[in-house]
Amino acid sequence: MVTLSTEARNVIFAAKCAGTVVGAIYARAMEVCARHWEVLNPLSHTGLAPRSDTARQMLADATNVAAVRAAKEQAGVAAWLYRASALLGLDLSGSHLGTATRFEQTLYTGDRDQKGILRYLECGASYNVNEFLRVDIPGSHLPLIIAGEAKGGSGGYGWVSGPNDLLANELNVKAINQRDPAYALTRAAYMAKDGGTSAASVARREAGREIRRAFNQGNFMYLAVRGEIDGTTLSVEGEVFECR
């Protein structure tokens, strides 16, 4: 069932990139695929389980506010990756995360494919999206670019200001919520102009450019996920947002 729904979903993605179906239909197809995938692959049976366990242990061991926050952030990232895996029908721990490495002593972890193209970036600093994924979709000339926000704990999605050209002049707003796909666009604007030469800066700039390009081309998806540690389990609550 997962294989069939994934194949159908891929055909819809190609149609979305060609402009013949709206993005919301593709998002629904992904949800169908995710429902089946999650039944077959509960979090504890995926390669993401150690990450979820680490978050739970970090929370159990936490003795100050900073440690609690770090544990919750870790839970949020694990939840985001699990939800993205379900939507893609692909355990990311065996693909994108398998060879991902931290860039020196930075807050950035990333991975490149065999051609050297960035396919995963996790950002731990502000003025970034939390997560960036690039996935090749069979039958489509464009990759699917997913950017997202991972929330740990019960904190709300915040509001940020950003480039005036986009917010004030084009979208007629002063600030944007983290649940809005255009939020990723405002963060990508900061990422794309990173002029540094370190591996982290190069990856950050590449991710920012890819998000903007995908938003412009119509092969972009925004995913916001909340992960909360509840006793011995990690609850995952995610939403896919399409451009309006």
Q: What residue type is assigned to position 54 of the chain?
A: T
- How far apart are CB 53 and another protein at their closest, in Å? 34
- How far apart are CB 121 and another protein at their closest, in Å? 17
CA angle 242, 110, 122 (to 5 degrees): 50
202 binding another protein? (CB under 8 A): no
First to last CA, the chain: 31
22 binding another protein? (CB under 8 A): yes
Residues 84-123 that bind another protein (CB under 8 A): none
Residue with tokens 């739970």: 56
Q: Which of 179, 194, 173, 176 is nearest to 225 (CA)?
A: 179
DSSP-based three-state secondary structure for 140: coil
Q: Where are the beta strands (DSSP E) in 138-206?
A: 144-152, 159-160, 176-177
Residues 208-227 that bind another protein (CB under 8 A): 209, 212-213, 215-218
- How far apart are CB 83 and another protein at their closest, in Å? 22
Q: Which of 57, 58, 55 is nearest to 74 (CA)?
A: 55
- How far apart are CB 198 and another protein at their closest, in Å? 9
| Residue 131 and residue 148 in contact, taking contact as beta carbons nearer than 8 Å | yes
- Identified binder of another protein from the candidate list 136, 170, 230, 237, rule CB under 8 A: 170
**Residues near another protein (CB under 8 A), total:** 33
- How far apart are CB 175 and another protein at their closest, in Å? 13
134 binding another protein? (CB under 8 A): no
244 binding another protein? (CB under 8 A): yes
Q: What residue type is assigned to position 125 of the chain?
A: A
- Identified binder of another protein from the candidate list 145, 182, 224, 236, rule CB under 8 A: 182
Q: Which of 114, 130, 122, 119 is nearest to 96 (CA)?
A: 119
- Binding residues (CB under 8 A) for another protein: these are 19, 22, 126-127, 163-166, 168-172, 181-182, 185, 189-190, 192-196, 201, 209, 212-213, 215-218, 243-244
